[in-house]
Amino acid sequence: MKDNFDHYAWNQKRHLAEGLNDRIGKIEIIYTEPGQGRRLYAVKIDDSVGKRIDKVYQDDANAILRYLGIEGELPRSLGFDDDKLLDSIVKQLQDMGIEADWCDCMDIS
């Protein structure tokens, strides 16, 4: 049986993720208010001294989460039980030493 595991690619991804993790100090996941559809507004990424690294949206945010090895993806809009998913994502980020939080507090009116 042939081994399909690419050790080089795995090691490269692990080292890159560690470098990215070292730069990220905080991730804030922001959805619109419940009366405004609870849609993903933005994901703000800051370094450890509070300087903004980037402000990204769903596709890029989910790519970063995958890159960091986080299980779960950010939904476009929040539905039933998605609060638990976001709590899990935040917990995984916090376990990596990244300050993280989410809210459905953005008023876009």
Do residues 57 and 43 make contact, with C-beta atoms less than 8 angstroms apart? Answer: yes
User: Residue 93: its pLDDT value, please?
Assistant: 96
pLDDT in tens, 7-45: 556 555 554 555 666 789 999 999 999 889 999 999 999
Q: Is the pLDDT of residue 99 over 80?
A: yes
Are residues 50 and 72 in contact, defined by beta-carbon separation less than 8 angstroms? no
Show Cβ contacts of residue 70 under 8 Å, excluding neighbours closer than 6 positions.
Answer: 89, 92, 93
Q: Please tell me whether residue 73 adopts helix, strand or coil conformation.
A: coil
Strands (E), the chain: 24-32, 40-47, 52-56, 99-106
State the pLDDT at residue 20.
64
